């Protein structure tokens, strides 16, 4: 991951390296204007670039300020293969499959069907697992009964966005298996925790 606080003087060009797959700028300065391949963006806008695109920023009017950030996408790379197909016909199985979109679905006992899809760039580590993302929140309120005794409430939320995070290690990349792309374990959903404490 990278993060940079950038100040651009008028007319100066800034080339953004392409080696990171995910890149974006957030324009901070109130009167900033930037030209990106002919487009103009204003303050408080977040601009996300296509992977690999050559981006040159300029500050045409005056000195401007922006945040440049990015990094690798979430999720561990993994390989999609078929243990029954010798794709390159060399007598050895488990060849990585070529690029393409792959899907898999499973219907659970309660009747709900879950679909899983992944874009595969092909080759070893051509696909990426869903990744893990969780935001936690903690609020605390403290008050005093007497000089010596105080108490406090806490309110905590784990996985605030209630995102379904899967255990990556349970995902199979073998298209010949019924468990292909289907994780067998999910991490906890949104969880609330209330606390009360007395200290003396």
Total residues at interface with Ca ion (CB under 5 A):
5
Please report how close the Cβ of residue 65 comes to Ca ion at its closest, in angstroms.
Answer: 53
In angstroms, the CA 48 to CA 25 distance is 7
Taking the complex as a whole, the smallest distance from the CB of residue 36 to Ca ion amounts, in Å, to 44
Nearer to Ca ion, 90 or 101 (CB): 90
Give dist(CA 31, CA 178) in Å, integer. 56
- CA dist., res. 188 & res. 130, Å (int): 15
CA distance 138 to 193: 9
Toward Ca ion, which CB reaches closer, 5 or 86? 86
Interacting residues with Ca ion between 78 and 97 (CB under 5 A): 86, 88, 90, 92, 95
Q: Give the footprint of Ca ion on residues 95-154 (CB under 5 A).
A: 95
Residue nearer to Ca ion on the CB measure, 91 or 111: 91
Of 88 and 147, which has the nearer Cβ to Ca ion? 88
Pairing of strands 33-36, 55-58: antiparallel
In the complex, least distance from residue 87 CB atom to Ca ion, rounded to whole angstroms: 6
Interatomic CA distance for residues 115 and 180, integer angstroms: 11
What SS3 state is found at 92? coil
8 Å CB contact between 53 and 47: no
Tell the smallest beta-carbon distance from residue 86 to Ca ion (Å).
4
- Tell me how far, at minimum, the Cβ of 83 lies from Ca ion, in Å: 11
Closer CB to Ca ion, residue 72 or residue 86?
A: 86
CA distance 63 to 100: 44
Q: Which of 92, 15, 93 is nearest to 54 (CA)?
A: 15
| Residues binding Ca ion (CB under 5 A) | 86, 88, 90, 92, 95
């Amino acid at each position: 991951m990278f993060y940079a606080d950038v100040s651009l003087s008028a007319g100066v060009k800034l080339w953004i390296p392409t080696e990171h797959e995910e890149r974006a700028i957030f324009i901070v300065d109130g009167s900033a204007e930037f030209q990106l391949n002919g487009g103009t963006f204003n303050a408080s806008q977040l601009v996300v670039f296509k992977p690999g695109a050559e981006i040159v920023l300029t500050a045409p009017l005056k000195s401007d300020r922006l945040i440049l950030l990015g990094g690798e996408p979430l999720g561990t790379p993994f390989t999609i293969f078929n243990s029954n197909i010798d794709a390159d016909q060399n007598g050895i199985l488990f060849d990585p499959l070529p690029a393409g979109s792959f899907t898999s679905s499973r219907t659970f006992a309660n009747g709900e069907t879950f679909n899983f899809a992944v874009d595969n760039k092909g080759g070893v580590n051509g696909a990426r697992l869903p990744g893990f993302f969780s935001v936690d929140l903690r609020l605390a309120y403290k008050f005093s009964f007497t000089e010596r005794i105080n108490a406090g409430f806490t309110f905590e939320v784990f996985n605030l966005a209630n995102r379904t995070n899967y255990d990556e290690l349970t995902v199979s990349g073998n298209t010949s298996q019924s468990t292909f792309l289907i994780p067998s374990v999910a991490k906890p959903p949104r969880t609330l925790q209330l606390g009360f404490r007395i200290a003396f």
